[in-house]
Amino acid sequence: MLKRILIILAVLFVLSGLLFAEGTKETSGQLHIVIATDATWPPMEMVDANKQIVGFDIDLMKAIAREGGFTYEFKNTAWDGIFAGLAAGKYDAVMSSVTITDERKKKMDFSIPYINAGQVLVIRSETTGVKTLKDLAGKKVGAQIGTTGAFAVDKVKSVKLKSYDEIGLAFEDLYNKRIEGVVADTPVAANYALQNKNYKGKLKIAGKPFTEEYYGIAVNKGNTKVLDAINKGLKKVLDSGENKKIEAQWLR
């Protein structure tokens, strides 16, 4: 009987350790936050040639953690289950180009916004005199079907919307002069126009985002311990302007 009790206690000890490992931990008195990200969204988060997760969000979190006084780790997680995993306590936060919406705020809490990833217009580098969609009156402008970019183009009746199943095809058509502009989220535009080796120097972003679609870091409802630590660090990064330096590296 004593042997059986000891075995049961040992199993319970292991299970409790596993459960503790899934949630928020404190290492040497310092808060440790586990963060999920779907590293398939360059230049915000992606896996590099060394199989390391890199990108704007990754560098920003490094600065946030330093200023917020906590440690962290990223877990590469498929998008289709990322919020379910958060709700189940598999990690403490999600930082993965997550747009703050009223619908999402019903189910989770968000940090203060850290970037406006709204729609921008991309044109060829040699194109001049174009800052807004209206400057392309009578021209074809591409966007991915069903996206806020396509909706934005469709609202400007003087331009002709050309829809694409995949946004990369729109940028290819822009490069080959089949259309005169592409509307996409700021990170997508930066990836194709500024980072992609095939288009770098040949395409450019015209003007600033003309819609407001802010990204935030998501945590479970009521998880003030994690949220307060993140917001403390994020506010310092935003106030110091360090975020702009990170934007210059990845999004400009």
- Domains in the chain, start-ordered, CATH in brackets? 20-116+214-250 (3.40.190.10), 119-206 (3.40.190.10)
Helix (H, G, I), strand (E, B) or coil at 124: strand
Nearest 10 degrees: Cα torsion 34, 37, 39, 40: 170
pTM: predicted TM-score of the whole model, two decimal places: 0.79
Write out residues in the chain with pLDDT < 70, as ranges.
1-28
pLDDT in tens, 89-110: 999 999 999 999 999 999 999 9
CA distances from 160 to 131, 137, 139, 145, 204 (A): 17, 8, 6, 14, 20
Judge contact between 141 and 132, C-beta under 8 A. Answer: no
Inter-axis angle of helices 242-250 and 224-240, nearest 10 = 80
Q: What pLDDT digit, counting tens, does each position of 146-176 carry?
A: 888 999 999 999 999 999 998 999 999 999 9
**Other CB atoms within 10 Å distance of the CB of residue 234:** 24
Q: Which of 167, 170, 184, 180 is nearest to 139 (CA)?
A: 180
